[in-house]
């Protein structure tokens, strides 16, 4: 196996458990095909483990956290089985969950989501992409009852690895619409046209927590996608749950999900949340609960300022729709925004609009999205619930 050596002063992060070796941290490059398994060594010759090398990517090596020599089907069976065992313990009896969350499952660049009898895979690195046949074979071994596997390799991050965007069924058959249950609800999603792998699994536990607060209350679910928060709230006895999303496809799917579950007091509307919140303020409308679950506002630290301004506006406007006793559910999936940043924004904006808040719940990404401590990149979801007390 070819060896690639790190520069003397760049090794600490990797020694402490980070799985990415940046191109700029290497003392030389190798002329090998993207995805080739290489051994990474310190400047004085000690091995830092093996990993997938991609000369085209800024993340030159993605380490496997072991001395793997082959990285074939057996390797993937072992790692995917370990990942599945964790999910069985933390989210028993779930039909929709993330089986493999990349780095946090020591499979950098691989995502596998399960929706009942179907698996959705995403390869975000060349090392994973070239091993697609092994990954599919391993998934069939670990999940013998699965009926179909679909790849949704349409994330723009693939272009940074020199990979094309592709999607489609890679094994078995997968229907256009797939159903699964979440917190007792029957959800129907369209994997091919839906966002991400079809559903935002990371908010599963948070939806449950908020639904418990919704009995007898009205909820405005902003950025609802296929209806997650609104449907859960309506099922738990909300008097009215209304979801807003700018995607027509998402709103149609949300409406179908309300029908499937017989939730007539759960409605959806296609709109831009920023505009709609302003309209509701000028119409002096009020809601008992406002949920804010916007998409990521910044992919890197350079865009942080703009992201913080976006959160400030959203939270300020939402607070204006709440009276004492009302609840603000606010979330951020922007990785560089910390929980402290979000808390600070809500504090400042609440002072501006004269609402006194108390924090009654805080959450994070569900445990099928574990956090690898050595890689802050794996921690992204912040989730805060405030009650307006005066
Ligand atoms: N709350 C959802 C997940 C939200 S993901 C759940 O529980 O599953 C973010 C959503 O915001 C996406 O569905 C996207 O279509 C939508 N979106 C992005 N910008 C928007 C905007 N300005 N107004 C309304 N929706 C928007």
Q: Is 275 in the pocket of ligand 1 (CB under 6 A)?
A: no
Q: Where in the chain is the domain with CATH 2.30.130.10?
A: 3-63
Ligand 1 centre distance from Cα of residue 227 (Å): 10
Atom of ligand 1 nearest to the CA of 272: 23
CATH architecture group of domain 3-63: Roll (2.30)
Closest Cα to atom 21 of ligand 1: 272
Q: Is 202 in the pocket of ligand 1 (CB under 6 A)?
A: no
Give the Cα separation of 92 and 333 in Å (integer): 25
Determine if ligand 1 sits within 6 Å of the CB of residue 296.
no
Residue nearest to ligand 1 atom 20, measured at CA: 246
- Say yes or no: CB of residue 214 within 6 Å of ligand 1: no
- CA-nearest of 375, 47, 383, 87 to 206 is 383
Contacts of 282 (CB under 8 A, 6+ apart): none
Phi/psi at 286 (nearest 5 deg)?
-130, 155
CA distances from 162 to 57, 137, 259 (A): 7, 24, 43
What tens-digit pLDDT sequence spans the chain (390 residues)? Answer: 999 999 998 899 999 999 999 999 999 999 999 999 999 999 999 999 999 999 999 999 999 999 999 999 999 999 999 999 999 999 999 999 999 999 999 999 999 999 999 999 999 999 999 999 999 999 999 999 999 999 999 999 999 999 999 999 999 999 999 999 999 999 999 998 999 999 999 999 999 999 999 999 999 999 999 999 999 999 999 999 999 999 999 999 999 999 999 999 999 999 999 999 999 999 999 999 999 999 999 888 888 999 999 999 999 999 999 999 999 999 999 999 999 999 999 999 999 999 999 999 999 999 999 999 999 999 999 999 999 997
For residue 133, the cross-strand partners are: none
Among 295, 306, 310, 330, the mutation site with the greatest number of ligand 1 atoms within 8 A of its Cβ is 295
Rg of the chain over all Cα atoms, to the nearest angstrom: 22
Ligand 1 neighbourhood includes 314 CB (under 6 angstroms) = no
Q: What angle (nearest 5°) sits at the alpha carbon of residue 307, between those of residues 62 and 345?
A: 115
Cα 230 to ligand 1 centroid, rounded to whole Å = 13
As annotated, the residues of the chain forming the CATH 3.30.750.80 domain(s) are 73-174
Superfamily of domain 73-174, CATH level 4: RNA methyltransferase domain (HRMD) like (3.30.750.80)
Q: CA-CA distance, 259 to 264, in Å (whole number)?
A: 7
- Distance (Å, whole) CA 318 – CA 355: 11
Query: Of the residues 220, 246, 290, 311, which should be mutated to test ligand 1's pocket, given the most ligand atoms within 8 Å of the CB?
Result: 246
pTM: predicted TM-score of the whole model, two decimal places? 0.96
Domain limits, CATH 3.40.50.150, in the chain: 188-388
Catalytic residues: 333
Write the class of the CATH domain 188-388: alpha beta
**Ligand 1 center from residue 223 Cα (angstroms):** 3
Ligand 1 pocket test: pick from 180, 187, 195, 225 the residue with the most ligand atoms within 8 Å of its Cβ.
Answer: 225
Q: Is 193 in the pocket of ligand 1 (CB under 6 A)?
A: no
Q: How far is the CA of 131 from the centre of ligand 1 (A)?
A: 33
Rounded to the nearest angstrom, the distance between the alpha carbon of 269 and the centre of ligand 1 is 12
The Å distance, Cα 225 to ligand 1 centre, comes to 5
């Amino acid at each position: 196996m070819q060896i690639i050596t790190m520069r003397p002063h760049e090794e600490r992060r990797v020694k402490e458990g980070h799985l990415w070796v940046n191109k700029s941290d290497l003392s030389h490059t190798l002329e090998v095909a993207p995805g080739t398994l290489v051994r990474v060594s310190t400047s004085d010759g000690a091995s830092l483990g093996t990993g997938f090398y991609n000369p085209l990517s800024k993340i030159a090596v993605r380490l496997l956290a072991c001395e793997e020599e082959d990285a074939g089907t057996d390797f993937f069976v072992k790692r995917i089985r370990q990942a599945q065992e964790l999910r069985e313990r933390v989210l028993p009896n779930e039909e929709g969950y993330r089986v493999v969350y990349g780095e946090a499952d020591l499979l950098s660049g691989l995502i596998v989501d399960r929706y009942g009898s179907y698996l959705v895979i995403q390869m975000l690195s060349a090392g994973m992409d070239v091993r697609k046949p092994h990954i599919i074979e391993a998934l069939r071994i670990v999940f013998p009852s699965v009926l179909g596997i679909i790849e949704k390799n349409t994330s723009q991050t693939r272009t940074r690895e020199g990979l094309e965007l592709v999607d489609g069924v890679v094994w078995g058959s997968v229907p256009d619409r797939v159903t699964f249950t979440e917190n007792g609800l029957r959800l129907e999603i369209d994997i091919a046209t839906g966002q991400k792998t079809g559903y935002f699994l990371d908010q599963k536990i948070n939806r449950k927590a908020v639904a418990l607060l919704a009995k007898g209350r009205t909820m405005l679910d902003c950025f609802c996608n296929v209806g997650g928060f609104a449907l859960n709230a309506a099922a738990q006895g909300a008097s009215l749950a209304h979801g807003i999303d700018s995607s027509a496809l998402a709103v149609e799917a949300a409406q179908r999900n309300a029908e499937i579950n017989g939730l007539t007091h759960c409605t959806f509307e296609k709109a831009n949340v920023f505009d709609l919140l302003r309209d509701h303020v000028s119409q002096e409308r009020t809601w008992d609960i406002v949920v804010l679950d916007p998409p990521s506002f910044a992919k890197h630290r350079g865009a942080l300022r703009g992201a913080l301004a976006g959160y400030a506006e959203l939270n300020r406007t939402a607070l204006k729709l709440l009276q004492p006793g009302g609840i603000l559910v606010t979330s951020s999936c922007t990785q560089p925004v910390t929980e402290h940043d979000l808390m600070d924004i809500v504090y400042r904006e609440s002072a501006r609009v004269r609402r006194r808040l108390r924090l009654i719940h805080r959450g994070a990404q569900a445990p099928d999205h574990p956090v690898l401590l050595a890689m802050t990149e794996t921690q992204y979801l912040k989730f805060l619930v405030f009650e307006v007390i005066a």
